[in-house]
Amino acid sequence: MASLDSALAHFVTEYRWAFAAFFLLPASLLYELFFSLRNWVVFQLNTAPGRHASRVKHVQAQVKQWRESGMEVKMCTARPAYQTMSLTKPKYKKTLHNIHINLIDVLEVNTDKMTVRCEPMVTMGQLTATLNPLGLTIPIVPELDDLTVGGLVMGTGVESSSHKHGLFQHICVSYELVLADASVVTCSREEDPDLFYAIPWSYGTLGFLTVAEIKIVPAKKYVKLEYFPYHDLGKMVDAFNRESCSKKADFVEGLMYSKNEGVLMTGNMVSDCEPDKLNVISKWYKPWFYKHVSGFLKTGPAVEYIPLRDYYHRHTRALFWEVENIILFGNNVLFRYLFGWMMPPKVSLLKVTETEALTKLYETQHIVQDMLVPVRAIKDSIEKFHNTVEVYPLWLCPFSLPPDPGMVHPAGDEEEMYVDVGVYGIPRRPFEAVRDTRDLEDFVEKVKGFQMMYAYSYRTKEEYRRMFDHSLYDRVRERNYSTKAFPDVFEKVNRNMRA
C-alpha cells in the first residue's frame, strides 16, 4: 500500500500536467456545473432566506457547546484548508476547535436599498451570475470566480474599479456575526462602528461572519476597454498614476511584461458596442487574457468591447498566469480547442491533490504575493521586485484608501491612492524564500505599504504589528471576549501556522 501511495505521489508530482489535464479538469467542470445548477435553483425558489436562520442557530449551538465544554481550545471555522484560494494550508485547523459553517447562498437583492445580502461562502462567480442578468453588479468584483465574500471581508479584495471604490471592505454596508458568547449581532457604520471597522483583515478572530450586506450599482452590458502599450517604465508609471488618480475611467489596470514593457488598460461600462470590435474573451478557444494583452506591445493601442461578466472574470481561466506553471501548453491553440472548455482547474482540487514535494516546491521556488504600496512608490516597487525576484507579468491594480479606522489606512489623515503589485510565478533570479520575501516585506513597510496576508509571510509579531494598526482591533477583542475564544490574527497568518 505504501508503494502504491508513493507511486501515485510521484506521478502527481512529476506529471502534474497530465494529472491536471485528464483528471482535474473534468472533475473541476463537473463540480462547477453541479454548484451552478444548485445555486440557480436555490435563488429561483427563494429558499435561502428561510434556511439562513436555522443555519445561524446551528453555528450558535456549536459555540454554546464549546463554552459548556470549558473553552479550553480556541475556535476557528471547519472549512477545509483545500477550499481556500490561498496556496498555503493553515495548520491551525488541526489544533483549534472547529465550528462547521454551511452558509453558501445569496439571500436577498434589495433594489430599494441597492444592496445584496450574502452568506460568507458565496463566490464572486456565483454573485455575478446572480446579479448581472438583473442589470446589477457590485462596485468591486475581484477577478477569480472562487473568491468568497467571507474571505474578501475577513482578508481583503481589490479590483480594477478600486481606484474609485477602495478595497472590498469599503463597499460593505453591514455585517452579521456570531460572537464568542454565541450572540448574533449586526454592525455597520452607524450601529457598533468599532466592530464594523475592526472586522476587515481580522481573519475570523472577532467572530463568525454569517451575512455581509454589500452595495450594488446598475450594470451595463459591455466594457469598452482601451489598451495603451508602453516601452518605457517612466512613461508607463506616469500614465498609470494619471489614469488612477483622475478616476475618469470605471476600470484601470496594468500588466508589466518586463521592467520597461507594459500595457495600461482603461475601461468604461457601456450599453452598446461596435460589432467588429466585440471580443467575447470567455470563449474556450480564446487566448488567455494576459497573452492577448501582450500582443498590443507589438500592434500598438487598441479598443475592444468585452461583455461585462467576461471582463470581471478575465483572469479566471488562466488563474492570472499560474496555470502555465501546471499545464505548460495550456494556451496552445490545439489544447484550447480540445480542452479549453473545461478550464480552469479548481484551486481546491489542485490543493487537495498536492504532494509534499509540490508543497515544498511552491514554497522554495515559487512566489505568490500581493504588496499594497502608495502609488507614489510604484516605480521604486517595480524596480525592487525586478531586482529581487524578476517575475513577470506583474499585475498593477490601483485602489483608493480612505482614512477609516481599522487595520489598514493611510499614514496621514487624507484618502490616498495605492496600488496592488501582484507577483505570481517562478523567480528568474536566484531565490531564497525567507531572505527574499523578508526583503520585500521590509521594503513595503518602509514605503508605508501593506502585505496581503493570504501568502507566506516571514514577519515577526512585532514587525507584523508595525505594518498593521492594531489599536481598534485590540480594543474590540477585549470588549467582546475574543481573546479567549479566537487566536490573535498573527497566530493565523504567520508562517509557522501554515504549510
Q: Is the peptide bond before 374 cis (omega within 30 degrees of 0)?
A: no
Average pLDDT over residues 122-129: 93
- How does residue 81 score in pLDDT terms, banded at 50, 70 and 90? low
Gap between the Cα atoms of 207 and 185, Å rounded = 10
* Inter-residue contact 149 to 200 (CB < 8 Å): no
The 10s digit of each residue's pLDDT in 402-460 is 999 999 999 889 999 999 999 999 999 999 999 999 999 999 999 999 999 888 889 99
- Global confidence as pTM: 0.90
Higher pLDDT, 357 or 294: 294
Asked if pLDDT for residue 92 goes beyond 50, the answer is yes
* Inter-residue contact 254 to 262 (CB < 8 Å): yes
Mention every residue, 6+ apart, whose C-beta is less than 8 A from residue 465.
490
C-alpha cell at 405: 479606522
What's the mean per-residue pLDDT of the chain? 90
Q: Decide: helix, strand or coil at residue 395.
A: strand
| pLDDT value of position 10 | 40
What letters, b where the CB count within 10 A reaches 16 and e where it falls short, cover 321-340?
Answer: bbbbbbbeebbeeebbeebb
Asked if pLDDT for residue 158 goes beyond 90, the answer is yes
C-alpha distances (whole Å) from 332 to each of 105, 158, 311, 327, 346 are 37, 30, 22, 10, 20
C-alpha cell at 410: 493611510
Average pLDDT over residues 155-184: 97
The 10s digit of each residue's pLDDT in 458-492 is 999 999 999 999 999 999 999 988 999 999 999 98
| pLDDT value of position 19 | 67
